[in-house]
Amino acid sequence: MGAVLTTRHLVAGAALGAATIAVAAAHGRDARYVEQVALAANHVTRVLAVSRSELGLSGSKRKAQMKTVDGRSCAVGSLFAFDVDDAYAFDVDEPVDVTVTYAPSLTTAPFAVAWDRNGGDGYGVSTDIQPDRTASFGRVTLRLDRARLAGQGILNTDLAVGARNQGVLGVCGVEIARSSTTRAAVATGRIHLETIDAGTSRVVPARVGLYDVTGRIPLPATDAVPVHRFADDARLQWLNRRTFWASESRQAFYVNGRYDAALPVGLYDLIATRGPEYRLARRRVEVRAGETTTIQVPLRRYVDLPSAGWYSGDSHIHLMRDEPADMAVWGQLAAEDVHVGNLLEMGNIAGTYFKQPAWDRAGQFDRDGYAIVPGQEDPRTGMRGHTIHWNLKSHVHFEKEAFFQYDRVFERTRSQGALTGYAHLGELFNGRRGLALDVPFGLVDFIEVLQGGRLNTDVWYSFLNLGFKVLPVGGADYPYFGPTLPGVERTYVKLDAPFSAAAWFDGFRRGHVYVTNGPFVRLSVNGREMGEEVRVARGTRLDIAADAQLNPDVDDLDRLELIVLGDVDARESANGNDRIHLQKTIVADHSMWIAARAYGGHQQPQFTTVAHTAPIYVVVDSEPTWKRSELASLVDYQRAQLNELLTVPIDPNSDLEAWETGETLVDQWPQQLPLLRPRIEEADRRYRQLLERFRGTASQR
């Protein structure tokens, strides 16, 4: 099989025959590709062909196959996960040797081994192994340092072997050998932990890390909040490098305010926090044999945004619930101080994932100021992007014969009073095409401009500069992107009423919004707030004030910028402070939109600490808020996106679940394109009309 994916490989490549069985998911349909494979491996109870390992290796969207080489059965695919027999090794801390036998003739790329590891990121990934093509079979032995093998990988697996660069690997056998050097705990004691909001003295949920002197985190007790990660049940959670933390050990767990556990005796580093509005707490804890150590950890606020009416939300979370009042889901969101969690049922042309148990008010759960609200990410394709619909009365999913007609879903969800938009920076999965088609019809309330540690403003600004009002949102897309945590990217909304999910959505509709993964920002123009219009006569003075601050436990504040029609109009540096105030007066000689943008010190292509407000719209003498110098080129850009819909062939591999959707997408796109053509042509006409209107006003000046 070549390295280039084809529809045949995606769809017909599932021919594993009797060697494959379906793998049951713990909480509904698993959004990952998972199939069990009959492969020779000692001390291993299961071998899975997968698309993700949850141990630092990712696979392709290719299904696996079984092939025979010189009489030996080999599994051919991109990524395989191995469940080590717990009777042989479970929760150890020692070097383990893994020997991989592979078929070079079936291997198109270097491969690596990943494992459940103590300390650090919680997993290890080997250096890349170059296939040896001098024999029918290659054989390589790797020593995995500090192997834990406690089932932290996908569906409680311990190891993974995967091809790099979306390649293919033919695995013909795996052998595991312990060094048996793990030292058993000599004695144990107990801890009783309480996490307290220092301002209210109430016991509150929190994220906690507890590390011994080697950096190892003991497996959490059943008192810890169980976490749903896809279809996995876990209590340890990975903390990627976008998640602020005070330890090089990057695993933690959630507590609902109290936690009791038995631990080996010794000294521990205890860390606790609950989102960027709180200071991080850290202390040394000693556990003594036969004793209970009681610890109260006061969590002190850096800032109290709810007292000023600002409440955080996450636009994009995928968590399955068995019932609306799922206390595990609630506990995870409350521990991250996410006041509104939009739990999105996720659809593709073949069906849905992350099922929600109920809709409308029956599907919401609100306790102590933290609300879970069902929504949907559906429709979604790699041809025209992924859509988000918030605060639904019922899920709207069209059958495959109408799946590309997004406008039908938008109109149906909007009739329920839902808020609608596009996910993934407006960019991934060709969302720019879908936006070009749907924005001119007034169907798009928001674009998810902050995600994965990136702020992408290009697509968003292009619509703002054409005079369209589109709001920003930020969302983690848990458990994708890294993995990530709920609230790593978040949307703050100012409420004009006591907190409720309904009040949060009402505040969002008014545009009182900013997105952030760290800084907190404010903006006003002549006393008006984000999302509002300031209607003035030409020559009116505009008094602009912006503020930014950043919890120093998250990052150092770097600068605050004033953005006018997409350009930086003013800038203030923090100069070592955690707060910035920017004030400027300008004369309104044309219509414009104005926003504020703040940066922390971490500014890398893969992760930037940043915040961005919704615009304030300054309307001068009723003129549109166009960026006149670029309007013609912006119209050309949107028309080019529409033309791509008409001319670019569908790529089934651009779909996130291509192993199950590829054949259907290829079949349905040419059938549905003629149905979309009139709407594409109408959108194109609207862009041309906008340009003609602009040229007409320009000639009158």
| Identity of the residue numbered 498 | P
pLDDT at 181: 96
Residue 259 pairs with which residues in a beta bridge? 193
| DSSP label at residue 159 | E
Question: Which residues of the chain fall below pLDDT 50?
Answer: 1-24
Instruction: Give pLDDT tens digits for 72-127.
Output: 999 999 999 999 999 999 999 999 999 999 999 999 999 999 999 999 999 999 99
Q: Is the dihedral of CA 32, 36, 40, 45 positive or negative?
A: positive
Of 441, 424, 349, 342, nearest in space to 387 by CA: 424
- Give the distance from CA 606 to its chain's centroid: 14
Residue 473 near residue 449, CB atoms below 8 Å = yes
Q: How far apart are CA 24 and CA 34, in angstroms?
A: 9
Listed residue (570, 572, 577) closest to 595, CA to CA: 570
The torsion of the CA quartet 669, 381, 163, 316, rounded to 10 degrees, works out to -170
Residues in the chain: 701
Q: What gap in Å lies between CA 505 and CA 324, rounded to an integer? A: 19
- What is the predicted pLDDT for the residue at 122? 96
Q: What is the pLDDT of residue 184?
A: 84
Looking at the DSSP bridge assignments, the partners of residue 253 are 208
What structural domains and CATH numbers belong to the chain?
A: 7-178 (2.60.120), 188-299 (2.60.40.1120), 306-629 (3.20.20.140)
Q: What is the DSSP string of 460-515?
A: HHHHHTBT---EEEE---BTSTTT--TTSSEEEEE-SSSS-HHHHHHHHHTT-EEE
pTM of the model: 0.94
Find out whether 257 and 265 touch, Cβ atoms under 8 Å.
no
What pLDDT, in 10s, does the model give residues 382-437?
999 999 999 999 999 999 999 999 999 999 999 999 999 999 999 999 999 999 99
Identity of the residue numbered 675:
L
pLDDT of amino acid 504: 98
**If 0-12 CB within 10 Å is exposed, 13-18 middle and 19+ buried, where does residue 167 land?**
buried
H/E stretch holding 676 reads helix 658-700
Cis preceding linkage at 486, omega within 30: no
DSSP state of 550: -
Mean of the per-residue pLDDT values of the chain:
94
Residue 362, judged by CB atoms within 10 A of its CB (0-12, 13-18, 19+), counts as exposed
Cis before 674? omega within 30: no
- From the list 694, 515, 698, the residue with the least C-alpha distance to 615 is 515
For residue 11, what is the enclosing H or E element?
A: helix 7-11
Which pLDDT belongs to residue 241? Answer: 84
In sequence order, the 6+-apart residues with CB closer than 8 A to the CB of 677 are: 646
CA 384, CA 208: separation in Å to the nearest integer?
Answer: 40
Contact criterion met (CB below 8 Å) for 393 and 502 = no
Q: Residue 202 is which amino acid?
A: R
The pLDDT tens digits of the residues spanning 188-230 come to 999 999 999 999 999 999 999 999 999 999 999 999 999 989 9
